[in-house]
Amino acid sequence: MLYTIDAYSDIGIRKKVNQDSLIIKQARTSNMGRVCFACLCDGMGGLSQGEIASASFVNRMGKWFENDFPHLIMSQDTTEDLSQQSTTGNSQQGDYWRQIEVQWGLIARQMNQGLKQYGADNGIRLGTTAVAMILIGNEYLVMSVGDSRAYQFNKRHIKQITHDQSYVQQQMDLGRMTPEEAAASSQKSVLLQCIGASENVFPDFFRGTFEKKNYFLLCSDGLWRLLKPEEIISIAPQKDGVKKLTELALKRGETDNISGLVIGAK
């Protein structure tokens, strides 16, 4: 599988610092073709130095892809199908997807504790959302903490992969709030957890499949909050599509930092 890449980040019209961070990396492997990895973080605007939290997590995940993922590949027979369980009984040769999930979860917990300690040492509180994705073959894995989102779409349909870890989403899940009420709520930015400011973090993981001519959008709430699904479908695949979506959000009055990245399978 080959991939097209587009990314854009904007400080917005009111913020003094862009607290969003993102990274996209690709690698060519001998047994599974091209692998694509991406991570996007939204530093918490209500806390101090959210840009440090978001950049730190993105950099750590980037190092995982550069250093740890190759070892994960080499630990398995290169002829073994990625999605199959090993029959050797060796715990190091199990399901790749499960191993990635475990490693990402460990990184999230370690970074949460590390950022909390940094904050305590400097007398501040800092935190970040995180959404990460890896595409291998025709399958994907997504990890999510907070309310940054991942979408999968083609020319006709769009699906939100992630589920917001936010107060308003929780209220909607409980039937206590409508989507319209959630969008207008003064608590729409309140998160149930984030990396660096939570006692513990429990990432959500999502797995699925994709085909050629499918696209993925990872974005901060500054991008998705004022956009319609059909606008993502029509604009995101275009040249400089993320920038165009950002400009549309700004035109509608978005004041937060705005960041997004689009990966297209071809």
Q: Where are the beta strands (DSSP E) in the chain?
A: 3-10, 20-29, 33-42, 130-136, 139-145, 149-153, 158-160, 204-209, 215-219, 258-265
Average pLDDT over residues 73-93: 47
CATH code, 259: 3.60.40.10
Q: What pLDDT is recorded for position 175?
A: 97
Indicate whether 250 belongs to any domain: yes
Indicate whether 185 belongs to any domain: no
- The pTM of this model reads 0.90
Range scoring the smallest mean pLDDT among 45-49, 133-137, 142-146, 204-208? 45-49
Domain hosting residue 92, numbered range = 3-163+195-265
Q: What percent of the chain has pLDDT over 90?
A: 82
Q: What pLDDT is recorded for position 46?
A: 66
Indicate whether 142 belongs to any domain: yes
Indicate whether 100 belongs to any domain: yes
Phi and psi for 75 in degrees, rounded to 5? -75, -10
Candidates 59, 41, 54, 58; CA nearest to 259 is: 41
Partners of 131 in the β-ladder = 40, 144
What is the rounded CA–CA span in Å between residue 236 and residue 10? 16
Q: What is the pLDDT of residues 204-214, one digit of tens each?
A: 999 999 999 99
Among 34-48, 77-91, 170-184, which range has the highest average pLDDT?
170-184
Indicate whether 181 belongs to any domain: no
Is residue 92 over pLDDT 50?
Answer: no
Indicate whether 190 belongs to any domain: no
Strands 204-209 and 215-219: unpaired
Partners of 39 in the β-ladder = 23, 132
Indicate whether 174 belongs to any domain: no
Indicate whether 206 belongs to any domain: yes
Query: How far is Cα of residue 235 from the mean position of the Cα atoms in its chain?
Result: 20
What is the rounded CA–CA span in Å between residue 243 and residue 256? 15
Confidence of residue 194 (pLDDT cuts 50, 70, 90): very high
Q: What angle do the packed helices 50-63 and 96-122 form, to 10 degrees?
A: 150
How many domains are contained in the chain? 1
**Average pLDDT value for the chain:** 91
